[in-house]
Structure 1
Amino acid sequence: MSRCYRAVLAPLATLMLLVGCAAVGPDYVAPSLPATQLPARFDELPAGLGPGSVEARWWGAFDEPALTGLVQRALAANHDIAIAAVRLEEARAMLRESRQGFLPRGGPALSYENRRWSEVQTPAGQSRQNETYRGAVDASWEIDLFGRVRRSVEAARAQAGSREALLRGVQASVAAEVAATWFELRGIEAELAVAADTRQSQRDSLSMVERQVNAGAATEFDRLRAEALLRSVEVSVPELERRRDASVNALAILLGEPPQRFTPPAAEPGEQALALRTIAVGEPTALLWRRSDIAAAERALAAATAQIGVETAGLYPEVQGSIGVVTGSLDGMSGASALSSFIGPMIRWSLLDTGRVRARIAASEARAREALIVYDQTVLRALQETDDAFKAHGAASNTLRLRLLESAANGEAARLARARFSEGEGVYLDVLEAERADYASRRALTAARTRQRLAVVGIYKALGGGWEVCAQARQPCDGASL
């Protein structure tokens, strides 16, 4: 090797040894929250809630095979999940691209020229036809002295982590939306069943009043009131059917299917249970890793912190190494005497751009501070949503318990009122009032049961559970396929 090469390689080797130096910019440290913001445990839990690990496959707690099947279908075919999965693929591809910054760039370059010279241009005794081959192989790479490439990789890795957390969030949200829509659909169908049962009861009542009118034991006014009550029940059916159809369509979209071809599965008859069983809610600290929005905010903060280092590297020289071999003819490719080569570093330092670089550093620092505030706010909102869900569950359970008592009392009162009137005791106004109250309380009971189940879904959604099942082997959770 010539002395020229040695003169170039010596400083280049020195620069390569410096690659292991610390990268410029701040090193990321995961944020820690004050104890006042993140309590050690959930206090004053309503009845039905308790400590313990949160169940990942929480929809199985309802013991409804139809619901379990719908959630599994949605995780495998939902379009929102597919969009989030593709965005994660994009982020991972960008991470792979960032890692390429450590590797050389360049490659071979070949050219061929076939030229015919004029007689004037052609020297005596030489051919006018001339073929020229040129070839070169070159490679260049950035010597990452100040960590620009390393910080870029850190930022890309954090962005990929944020996209992964967002995918988990969509999976958990879709599971909760499927459960909520399913229970709303079941609640509407239960209201329709109440309306159908009450309508038949009112028809029987109207027939009884008509017989009483013919027998002279009742008046036309009583018959009109009975018919009005029947029509008031019937008029509620079209709106309930519209809501049912809207819920079916919403469920179809969640499952990635056309509404026109979707038929919901049949459900088992509803039960009168006040609660499923004791729900384990875990500890507040578990929200930091289970809630996908918190994880995504933390990864966004890490990416913003790494970006400060990327911008700070602009204040320092950019050092590149390069190496190449060039030949001027095809024959020269096999002859070392015809080859020319080069090797050496190149230093680029944009001293005149210092003001712009510092402005970009200040902007990246501001974005990092914003990301930290967003993270803090996300944790606080998670605590708020969790507490709201706990209280909503307690209120819904108490309301359901009272609605059961109310419905039982109104149902018995309506039965007694009809029996008394059929035996010639009392007035029909008592029957009308009792039946109207019975119908209203039965519908209210159905709505209360639906709200109680939606409150349970709200707890699991606030706790951020559900996505863990997608981490299991052979679990299809990537959404709709292309």
Structure 2
Amino acid sequence: MKGPIHAVLLPLSALILLAGCAAVGPDYSPSSLPSSRFPASFGEPAAGLNAGAVEVEWWRAFDEPALSTLIQRALASNHDIGIAVARLEEAKAVLRENRQDFLPSGGPALSYESFRRSEVETPSGQQRHIETYRGAVDASWEIDLFGRVRRSVEAAQAQAGSREALLRSVQAGVAATVAATWFELRGLEAELAVAADISQSQRESLEMVERMVSVGSAQELDRLRAEALLRSVEALVPDLERRRAASFNALAILLGESPQTFRPPAAKPGRETLAVRSIAVGDPAGLLSRRADIAAAERNLAAATARIGVETAGLYPDIQIRGSIGLVAGSLDAMSDGAQSSFIGPAIRWSLLDTGRVRARIAASEARTQEALIVYDQTLLRALQETDDAFKGYGAAGDTLALRLLESAANREAARLARVQFMEGEGVYLDVLEAERSDYASRRALVIARTNQRLAVVSIYKALGGGWELCTQAQHDCTGAAGLAYMPDAKQITPRP
């Protein structure tokens, strides 16, 4: 004779087989993404660029050990990286939680009921007060017939992939920002050095003019003009020092340190021109696979697509298998000899009256998926824009630096000749002042042009999205400030005496 359990096994087996069917909702396919608009190449390569493989540790091309040290320290201590690591761990935990929905849920259950009947309700010879103790193991299992659980896992998995890509994007961005901040700091220090050199030269010129005024060889107007030029140079120093301090502090924060205790590594003197070998920039196809923000946008689109299936499953019945096995007794002492109690059976819930709400949620999910698709396409186009802007900026920075070198050399020689002619009595001091003013302006412009050339190289590598590949190697610590320890002690329940 078949028991109740046997009566459930046949339909349960059929449900399990049906659970392997395709889940409701659209299936995500990366091949249908609008990446076909990506060009085959970056176009006519600019001078100094080639289509070779992009270098991973691109900062080594600057031949500055101090910069490499700073980037390594930032990858190991930066707070933005630590935040991204924590968010990735959160997404992984959510994924593990969603995968648990494939398994039965439940556990031990203890219950106690006390019921007192009235005299009218109590049959003759029976007790009015009834107590029931129950100890059992309850379990339930959702039969994922329409794929709600599978789509939930797909969405969580895609979201974890997006968080991982965002971590890579933050790592690449931190490396580029450290390099840019370092070169800005070095450039400001160079500007201060030029200002100090020019100030010293102007003091000497002012002393010379004062001696000439005292003997009648020059006029008071010449002395005033010399003093005015000196003060104009000195007036630039406070703002340069403020900007240098701001860059120094920004670099400290990037490395996860306080500005008061931060000590950057010693840097070797900079060169007039940056001897960077030809920069390999790859092709758009490589950019598509290397830019972590593109990967994050693609994974967000996959997650949004899966969530349409999660909401669509609400149009169909929710089927669960529930069961319980345990003991029932009239007193706690009798539990060991209590009567066995068990049941197993399917439970079907179908919210037909909520169809309008479900369809509204489906429409909202579809709109969010369309938004994610547009964001993905926009991310592709912005990546191409950033690379093209960086390539054009690199070419312009190189041309500007070459012209600034010629300008500075010409102005320096003009200032020397003006001073010689004035000392020999063949010129006026106004010519000397104008020549020295132009000399200072061109020397400062040359320093800025050198800085801009280095920043242009950094912009190229930032646009290419490289550098994070280093963090896939086990010997490199790229977890940022994730190692900061904070975990409050759990409150222990102290037993009463």
Q: TM-score range by the shorter chain?
A: over 0.9
The SS at the match of 1:175 is helix
Distance in 2, Cα, partners of 1:213 & 1:182: 46
Is residue 39 from structure 1 mapped to residue 39 from structure 2 by the alignment?
yes
SS of residue in 1 equivalent to 2:480: coil
Match of 1:399 in 2: 400
1:315 aligns with 2:343: no
Please give the root-mean-square deviation of Cα atoms over the aligned residues, in Å: 2.6
Which residue of the partner structure matches residue 426 of structure 1?
Answer: 427
SS at match of 1:326: strand
Q: Does 1:17 align with 2:17?
A: yes
Check whether the contact 2:99–2:153 (CA below 8 A) recurs between aligned residues.
yes
The alpha carbon displacement at 1:114 in A equals 11
Farther-moved stretch of structure 1 (28-37 vs 197-206) = 28-37
Matches within 5 A, 1:235-250: 235-250=235-250
Instruction: Determine if contact 1:333/1:339 at 8 Å carries over to the other structure.
Output: no
Tell me, yes or no, if structure 1 residue 415 matches structure 2 residue 394.
no
Residue 334 of structure 1: CA displacement?
Answer: 6.0
Worse-superposed segment, 41-50 or 456-465: 41-50
Q: Which amino acid aligns with 1:391?
A: K
Q: How many angstroms does 1:169 deviate by?
A: 1.0
In the alignment, is residue 101 of structure 1 matched against residue 101 of structure 2? yes
Identity %: 75
Task: Answer yes or no: is the 8 Å Cα contact 1:274–1:401 preserved in 2.
Answer: no
User: Hey, what does 1:270 align to over in structure 2?
Assistant: 270
> TM (normalized to structure 1)?
0.93
CA distance in 2, matches of 1:402, 1:33: 45
The question of 1:184 aligning with 2:184 is answered: yes
Cα deviation, 1:141-172, whole Å, max 9, x if unaligned, reads: 10001100000000000111111111111111
Report whether the alignment pairs 1:252 with 2:235.
Answer: no
> What aligned pairs does 1:9-158 form with structure 2 within 5 A after superposition?
9-32=9-32, 37-111=37-111, 133-158=133-158
2:346 matched to 1:325?
A: no
Aligned residues: 477
Q: CA deviation at 1:425?
A: 2.4
The 3 A distance-change label for structure 1 pair 34 and 374 is: closer
Question: 3-state SS of the aligned residue for 2:451?
Answer: helix
One-letter amino acid of the structure 1 residue matched with residue 226 of structure 2: A
SS of structure 2 residue aligned to 1:134: strand
Change (3 A) 1:332 1:464: farther
Residues 10-45 of structure 1: CA distance to partner in whole angstroms, max 9, x if unpaired? 111111121111111111001556687211111122
Q: Which residue of 2 aligns with 1:227?
A: 227
Is 1:448 the equivalent of 2:449? yes
C-alpha distance in 2, partners of 1:276/1:333? 83
Q: Which amino acid aligns with 1:325?
A: I
The answer for the alignment partner of 1:120 in structure 2 is: none
Unaligned 5+ runs, structure 2: 116-128, 485-497
Amino acid at match of 1:196: A
Q: Which residue of 1 aligns with 2:367?
A: 366
- Cα distance in 1 for residues equivalent to 2:37 and 2:23: 33
Offset at 1:108? 0.7
Q: Does the CA-based 8 Å contact 2:274-2:454 persist in structure 1?
A: no
Compute the displacement of 1:362 (Å): 1.4
**Contact 1:202-1:230 at 8 Å conserved across structures:** yes
Name the stretch that deviates more: 92-101 or 423-432: 423-432
Q: Deviations over 1:345-365 (max 9, x none)?
A: 111111111111111111111
1:386 paired residue number: 387
Offset at 1:463? Answer: 0.7
Aligned to 2:378: 377
| Aligned-partner SS, 1:28 | coil
Contact 1:9 1:344 survives alignment (8 Å): no
Shift of 1:111: 4.6
Matches for 1:334-353 after TM superposition, within 5 Å: 338-353=339-354
Residues 21 and 146 of structure 2 are in contact (CA less than 8 Å); yes or no, is this contact kept in structure 1?
yes
On the 8 A contact 2:35/2:380 being kept in 1, the answer is: no
Deviation at 1:214, TM superposition (A): 2.6
Alpha-carbon offset, residue 211 of structure 1: 2.2
Indicate conservation of the 8 Å contact 2:35/2:377, yes or no: no
In the alignment, is the contact (CA less than 8 A) between 1:319 and 1:348 conserved in 2? Answer: yes
Specify the alignment match of 2:170 in structure 1: 170
Give the match for residue 465 of structure 1: 466
Amino acid paired to 2:422: F
Query: Quick check: 2:398–2:453 contact (8 Å CA) kept in 1?
Result: yes
Matched with 2:118 is: none
Q: Give, as a single letter, the amino acid of the residue that structure 1 aligns with 2:49.
A: L
TM-score normalised per structure 2:
0.91
Partners of 1:210 and 1:331 in 2: CA distance: 113
Counterpart amino acid of 1:390?
F
Residues 307-331 of structure 1 show CA distances to partners (whole Å, capped at 9, x for unaligned) of 1111111111111012210201467
Distance 1:32 1:21 in 2: 23
Structure 1 residue 77: deviation in Å?
Answer: 1.1
Distance 1:282 1:201, change over 3 A: same
What is the DSSP-based 3-state SS (H/G/I as helix, E as strand, rest coil) of the residue aligned with 1:276? coil
- Look up the match of 2:202: 202
Give the partner amino acid of 1:197: D
